[in-house]
A = this chain, B = another copy of it.
Amino acid sequence: MRFFSDNAAAACPEVLQALVDANRLDTAYDGDAWSARMDGAFSDLFGKPVRALWVTTGTAANCLGLAALCPPHGAILCHEFAHIEQDEAGAPGFFTHGAKLSLLPGDGAKLLPAAVDEACDRIRADVHQVQPAALSITNATEYGLTYRADEVAALGDLARRRGLGFHMDGARFANAIAFANADPADVTWRAGVDVLSFGFVKNGGMNAEALVFFDLDKAELVPRLRKRAGHLLSKGRYCAAQILAMLEDGLWLTNARAANGAAATLAKAARDRLVYPVEANELFVRMTATEAASVRAQGFDFYDWAPGEVRLVTSWDQDMDAVARLAAVIEAL
């Protein structure tokens, strides 16, 4: 019974069905009927005209988004534990031709306006220092915390005032929205976000993520950058079809609620051991090596995160019996 990554889960049946349905001749690249519906589907979801492009990975989504916001000689402000800093092999430096990630602290991998303000204040405007051009946050954060609309808006105000583009890495955007029971518009464009990496793969997709531009001007070059980075698929309709299937009838929220629900069950059992509140589908749980070994011996797989700390991740298709059993095991430690 595996609790180590939502990345490893299967694709949901609706996604597979969408691939079957899309399996006929159409125009190549993004000239097909499914790709043509992307802008509309996301515009409906967000309640304003947006530009939405499919890509196959979160790294590509993040880095194309950042490349649209930050020139090679600029800096992107982000949390020191952000995925773009920790887990993308330097891809932001590749896509932006050498822009700098300026790393900021913050509890639970969450950025607060004060940290951003202070970082900006420290930078002289002369040609010797790299000027900040963009701000990037992750929602839900790398430690499973969720930004509330007003928290994003405070950062958005700051970004506007400082002239920074504002990117949200939403690899687990669905989990964040499901947890906060928020209007997607409120935590994105209404709060000043210019571009969102809207994750589907961790949430039941197979290999399709969306890059959503609320600022249409900033999207202008992105189709060209996507092609230049080798991310324009010949048969793009299979990406678009997955995404459209997950938007339909709110499947993206249904899946996220399932994963969050499993996490909540475990969180209750581990309530005295939690390093952070559980606000999505990740738990960071204090556990001695002996305890962890005992849990593993009972058939549960998960990552050690730090000395005395393990990480549990639930996914859209987590078996609820296994969840109940793991909860019982943790409670019994």
Task: Say yes or no: B23 contacts A8, CB within 8 Å.
Answer: no
> Which positions 230-279 of chain A face chain B at CB distance < 8 Å?
230-235, 238-239
Across the interface, do B90 and A202 meet the contact criterion of CB distance under 8 Å? Answer: no
Question: A227 near B2 (CB under 8 angstroms)?
Answer: no
The answer to whether A26 has its CB under 8 Å from any CB of chain B is: yes
Q: Which of B10, B90, B228, B239 contacts A89 (CB 8 A)?
A: B228
Q: Of residues 287 to 307 in A, which have CB atoms within 8 Å of B's CB atoms?
A: none
| Contacting residue for A233 out of B2, B57, B87, B127, CB 8 A | B57
When distances are taken between beta carbons in the complex, the residues of chain B under 8 Å from A238 are: 11, 206-207
Taking a contact as CB atoms under 8 Å apart, the answer to whether A90 and B130 are in contact is yes
Q: Are B229 and A94 in contact (CB under 8 A)?
A: yes
A71 to B103, CA, bound (A): 22
Whether the Cβ atoms of B26 and A8 lie closer than 8 Å is yes
Contact with B along A112-135 (1 / 0, CB 8 A): 000000000000000111110000
> CB distance A73 to B100 under 8 Å?
no
> Given that A90-B100, A127-B232 are contacting pairs, would A8 and B25 also be in contact in the complex, using a CB cutoff of 8 Å?
yes
Could you say which of B91, B129, B235 contacts A230, with CB atoms under 8 Å apart?
A: B91
Which residues of B lie under 8 Å from residue A232 when comparing CB positions?
A: 57, 59, 127
Q: Given the complex of chains A and B, what is the CA–CA distance between A19 and B10 in angstroms? A: 10
Count residues on chain A whose CB falls below 8 Å from chain B CBs. 70
Question: What mask results when residues 217 to 233 of chain A are scored 1 for a CB within 8 Å of chain B, else 0?
Answer: 00001011111111111
Q: Would you list which residues of chain A between 1 and 55 have a CB under 8 Å from chain B?
A: 2, 5, 7-11, 16, 19-20, 23-29, 55
B contact residues around A29 at 8 Å (CB): 7
Q: Does A140 contact B (CB under 8 A)?
A: no
Task: Given A19-B16, A25-B8, A59-B227, check contact A86 B235 (CB 8 Å).
Answer: no
CB-defined contacts of A73 to chain B, threshold 8 Å = 89-90, 94, 221, 224-225, 228
CB–CB A229/B230 < 8 A: yes
Report the Cα distance A319→B239, complex, angstroms.
26
Taking A72-B94, A231-B57, A232-B57 as contacts, is the C-beta distance between A87 and B207 under 8 angstroms?
Answer: no
When each residue 186-229 of chain A gets 1 if its CB lies under 8 Å from chain B and 0 otherwise, what string results? 00000000000000011000110000000000000101111111
List A residues at the B interface (Cβ < 8 Å). Answer: 2, 5, 7-11, 16, 19-20, 23-29, 55-60, 63-64, 71-73, 75, 86-91, 93-101, 103, 127-131, 201-202, 206-207, 221, 223-235, 238-239
What are 28 A-B interface contacts by the 8 Å CB criterion?
Answer: A7-B28, A8-B235, A10-B24, A11-B23, A11-B235, A16-B20, A56-B56, A57-B233, A59-B227, A63-B230, A71-B221, A73-B225, A86-B128, A88-B228, A89-B127, A89-B128, A89-B130, A89-B227, A89-B228, A90-B130, A90-B228, A91-B229, A91-B230, A93-B93, A93-B99, A131-B224, A206-B238, A229-B230
